Amino acid sequence: MNFARIVLLPLMILCASLGVTWAVWDHERQASRHEVLSQFDFALGDAVSRVDQRMATYELMLRGVQSLFAAKDQIERYNFRDYVGTLVLDPSFAGVQAIGIVEWVPAARRDAHVATMQSLGFIDYAIQPAGPRADYAPIVQREPYVGRNRAALGFDAWADATRRTAMERARDSGMAAITGKVRLTVDNEPDAPPGFVMYLPVYARGLPHDSVAERRASVIAWVYASFRMSDVIASLYGERLPGLGLAIYDGVGISDATLLHRSPEKHLPHMKSVVSASEYLVVDGHNWTLAMHAHDDFRARFGRNAELLIAVSGTGLSLLLALLAWLTMTGRRRALHMASSMTRELRENEEKFRAIADCTVNWEVWWGPDGKPRWINPSVREYTGYTVDECMAMPDLAATLIHPEDMPRVAPLFLKGMHGLRGDDLEFRCVRKDGSLVWFSVSWGPIRDAKGAFTGFRTSGRDITERKQLEAELRIAAVAFDSLEAMMVTDSRNIILRVNSAFTECTGYTPEEVVGRTPLFLRSGRHDETFFREMWEAVDREGGWQGEIWDRRKNGEIYPKWFTVSAVRGEDGVVSHYVGTHHDITERKIAEERIRELAFFDALTRLPNRSLLLDRLKQAITASARGDACGALLFIDLDHFKTLNDTLGHDKGDRLLQEVAQRLAASVRDSDTVARVGGDEFVVVLGSLHASRQEAAIQTEAIGEKILEVLGNTYQLGDVEYRSTASIGATVFQGHRTSIDELLKQADLAMYKSKERGRNALCFFDPAMQTVVLERAALEADLRKAIDEEQFLLHYQAQIADGGRVTGAEALVRWRHPQRGIVPPADFIPLAEETGLILPLGNWVLETACRQLTLWSTRPDMAHLTIAVNVSAQQLREPDFVDKVLAVIGHTGARANRLKLELTESVLVDNVQDIIRKMYALKAKGVVFSLDDFGIGYSSLSYLKRLPLDQLKIDQSFVRDVLVDPNDATIARTIVALAQSLGLGVIAEGVETEAQRDFLAGAGCHAYQGYYFCRPVAIEAFEAFVSRCDPWRNANRERAVARDGIVAE
């Protein structure tokens, strides 16, 4: 028993201790390997993330260049150089060899393109390599434009298959695309490091590019950046990766032929690789392979390096324990204590990495193979607003946090992670607890245990919201700077730093001529120093100023501009820059001056207008009262001016008005006033006449007769000689006895009196004229009331064909006045046209006639009849005339082909195209058109063949004397022949005798209207006349109809 206690117990303790030592040693070895693998995976994922992020930064850089095309299809060379110059200074864009533009040039435009480039100063420019091809894509801009970069101008990227493949991919997708392994155009050495090129398409503004076909049709250029891969990696890591070797291959294979970069390993010649792995990376649709291997010093840095120590110390400890057990049994307690300490140390080492992950600023999540979160670092609260506990309690963390629109892109990568595969970095939005959005760039990677077994996957998210906002701001800034307003940026000392192309267009100065100077050279000299001092005081006090300034262009021209200057302050409140914008307001100043001129002067004749006339007349009345002298007012209206406009055109009418203005101004004194107050109306104000009204009237008469004589002389209107007369109304005033309005009315009435006397006359105002004015006003009031109360009725005058058959009627309006009885149309139709009441009156006539057509359509003996309705020029000018006519036809139920609209030639004077359009619109619905009073109006026949007419109507003035006046007879025959040649019907109005009818029939006219057949009568008498037409035609027509009281006696 003692032997067992002395020998076996120490041996058992020794064996147990050695067993524990081996277990601890093996655990430490596995933990050390796991640590190295974890750090290696992290380093590999970090390398992939860095490369991917740097490529995203390069793409952002190119999109900034691409946004320069948002304002115009061509970028000025100096704008491009300035923009690229700002990019070169940004450390985020390190590794860029050159930035440029490749223009799409079809073969048909090749020669024109080369000529354009040579005209810009590139005398030796040519597309290389030479030779005919279907399409070309030469480099047209490249910065920095120094050294070998100059030789790259004209290089046809489309001729290189590798470059062309990337450009086609970019063009068809609208996204950035990179090439495979290429030798850059500036590298001619055989051992030059390989590189790649990134392309981004530019489409023509205003053309769609939603589909592949549309993108191919609208592409005009590519912006590109070229890189050496070695420079890109050097900008990310410096000269070396501590303990690691990194190689990047083009595509998914690993070979020397596809090698893009291998990190130098001169410092590691004696070390061997302890772990290696490769990762595929998809960059802008192109595959790269990243291969990484770790060396001994990497394991030394991140491994625990405690295995040997544990083995030696454990063995020594075991021997010591056995020795102590041999000596005394009390050593067992120490051994147990040592084992407990070693176990605690092991647990602390295991939690070290978790503590490091908790401290990282990224949002880290470790997921299990089932897609459930196993661990989340505390940063989640900062980014999402949720605590770790809230996130762990969510049924589906990913679905809760990821924006629904981005979930379809994230889900495939999530599935990759659940299967132990590494996914590409992805940018997407997350929804915070408060509902706001935050952008993340997330990398994915598997988690393995010490034995390499898959235990889950890791996601590491970085907040890129600020970067996304910066991208948008860059795009907006690029468009804003190239806006239509001229822009200038200076430093705090007012030294110009930058100007845009609109500045050059406005001032004539290029950026090279102004950068580095102060804006003093732009001053015109029209503003003193006090003006500028007050302006800058306002800028310092209020942060900005705006107002009108006169400046000088490069060519010496002085021009007005609207100038705005704003101070830009830093975080410390100190001004760092000034931004000035302006636009040329020359046109506005001219318009203001023109408006002031138009306010008081007539634009055509340059005479004072009505506003200035009233002011001058007021002054004349005041002077008359003060000096006890008389004055006079002459109202002048040109005779037959409308006929001139209708026959010779408005240009001749305008020329006549100008000549009249000149003659009037030359006929009076400089102190008198000649004004134009309307179309062909002029007013002359005479001052300082005799104090006696009789003597003043004699003076006025002498001046008026002189004016009549001068205005009656021949006018040379271009190639036409023309004589014109005038009607003048005059009134004499003295002091303030009569108001200005009353004087104008008196002169106007007197002028109308002179027209009644035969025109070309001078009449003085007679108080009896006021009675006529009052009667006219009363008649207008009664006419308005008559329209409201429908005091009108229609009479119908038959239209007869050869053989006596009634084919239709003309509707003629009559006014049945309650007190005056039947008012003749000649008394109220002109008044209706002057006051605009012809519109509601014409609508009433049209609707009444259409209702009558509807009633006749139910009677077999009347259904064939048409009704002709006269339409005034005012009605035709209404924009909705066609709609009104069709609406009346629609709600009355009338047949459109039974409605005949009679137009006078005067409607063709103004806006003929609009009249023709309206006629065709109604013609398409069946409405018939007749041209009334043909031959007495507009003399030009050029529109006849364009008008959709059905009939010409010979005016009664020709029919009346057709038997006694050879001219009238010739005109009548000509109208009939013209109508027949145009395929139109013809009808003669005013036929009063059988001889007239026979003459017209012999000339080829077979439709008539006039008192010989039927007077205009009420509807009942007209229908009775139609019903008797057949027996009347075969009997003694004159006696039979005379008994009925229908035919004129």
Which of 255, 242, 306, 178 minimizes the C-alpha distance to 47?
A: 242
Which spans in 767-856 are helix H? 769-789, 825-835, 838-856
Please tell me the predicted confidence (pLDDT) of residue 1036.
Answer: 42
Q: Residue 721: what are its φ and ψ, rounded to 5°?
A: -95, 135
**Contacts by 545-553, CB closer than 8 A, 24 or more apart:** 548/585, 549/582, 550/524, 550/526, 551/507, 551/522, 551/523, 551/524, 552/522, 552/523, 552/524, 552/525, 553/506, 553/507, 553/508
User: What is the Cα–Cα distance from 80 to 221, expressed in whole angstroms?
Assistant: 14
Length of the chain measured in residues: 1049
User: What is the Cα–Cα distance from 341 to 983, expressed in whole angstroms?
Assistant: 123
Please tell me the predicted confidence (pLDDT) of residue 303.
Answer: 52
Please tell me the predicted confidence (pLDDT) of residue 1049.
Answer: 28
User: What is the Cα–Cα distance from 541 to 169, expressed in whole angstroms?
Assistant: 55
Q: At what angle do helices 610-627 and 740-756 cross, to 10 degrees?
A: 110
Find where tokens 């609508």 sit: 843
For every residue of 247-279, DSSP letters joined together read EEEESSS--GGGEEEE---TT-TT--EEEEEEE
User: What is the Cα–Cα distance from 790 to 813, expressed in whole angstroms?
Assistant: 11
Interacting residues of 481 by C-beta distance below 8 A, sequence separation 6+: 487, 500
CB atoms within 10 A of CB 810: 25
Please tell me the predicted confidence (pLDDT) of residue 137.
Answer: 94
Which of 976, 918, 974 minimizes the C-alpha distance to 948?
A: 918
Task: Tell me the whole-structure pTM to 2 decimals.
Answer: 0.38
Locate 918 and state its tokens: 């309206």
Q: Residue 257: what are its φ and ψ, rounded to 5°?
A: -70, -25
Name the 3-class secondary structure at 815. strand
**493: Cα separation from own chain's centroid:** 39
Locate 712 and state its tokens: 């009656």
User: What is the Cα–Cα distance from 396 to 706, expressed in whole angstroms?
Assistant: 104
Name the 3-class secondary structure at 991. coil
In the beta sheet, which residues pair with residue 135?
A: 106
Interacting residues of 933 by C-beta distance below 8 A, sequence separation 6+: 904, 905, 953, 955
Dihedral of alpha carbons 32, 38, 42, 44, sign: positive
Cβ atoms 161, 169 nearer than 8 A = no
Angle 201-206-211 from CA coordinates, rounded to 5°: 55
Which of 145, 111, 141, 148 minimizes the C-alpha distance to 126?
A: 111
Locate 749 and state its tokens: 């009435």
Q: Which residues of the chain fall below pLDDT 50?
A: 1, 266-271, 330-331, 346, 349-350, 352-353, 356-357, 359, 769, 939-940, 1031-1049
Torsion, CA 207, CA 208, CA 212, CA 216, rounded to 10: 0
Name the 3-class secondary structure at 203. strand
Torsion, CA 555, CA 557, CA 563, CA 569, rounded to 10: 30
Strand ranges (E), 669-828: 673-678, 681-689, 714-717, 720-723, 726-733, 762-764, 792-801, 806-817, 821-823
Name the 3-class secondary structure at 755. helix
Q: Residue 597: what are its φ and ψ, rounded to 5°?
A: -70, -45
Q: Residue 84: what are its φ and ψ, rounded to 5°?
A: -65, -35
Cα distances (Å, whole numbers) of residue 156 to 133, 137, 142, 196, 423: 10, 5, 13, 16, 36
Which of 96, 321, 115 minimizes the C-alpha distance to 196?
A: 96
User: What is the Cα–Cα distance from 748 to 755, expressed in whole angstroms?
Assistant: 11
User: What is the Cα–Cα distance from 359 to 361, expressed in whole angstroms?
Assistant: 7
Please tell me the predicted confidence (pLDDT) of residue 285.
Answer: 79
What stretch of H or E contains 402? none
Q: Tell me 720's DSSP state.
A: E
Which spans in 363-438 are helix H? 379-384, 388-393, 397-401, 407-418
User: What is the Cα–Cα distance from 658 to 603, expressed in whole angstroms?
Assistant: 10
Torsion, CA 267, CA 269, CA 272, CA 274, rounded to 10: 20
Find where tokens 């359509």 sit: 857
Q: What share of the chain is helix, strand, coil (3-state, %, to 5)?
A: 50, 25, 25
Q: Which domains does the chain have, with CATH numbers?
A: 61-238 (3.30.450.350), 376-468 (3.30.450.20), 483-591 (3.30.450.20), 601-765 (3.30.70.270), 781-1029 (3.20.20.450)
Name the 3-class secondary structure at 442. strand
Burial of 516 (0-12, 13-18, 19+ CB in 10 A): exposed
Q: Indicate the residue type of 866.
A: T
Please tell me the predicted confidence (pLDDT) of residue 600.
Answer: 85
What stretch of H or E contains 363? strand 363-367
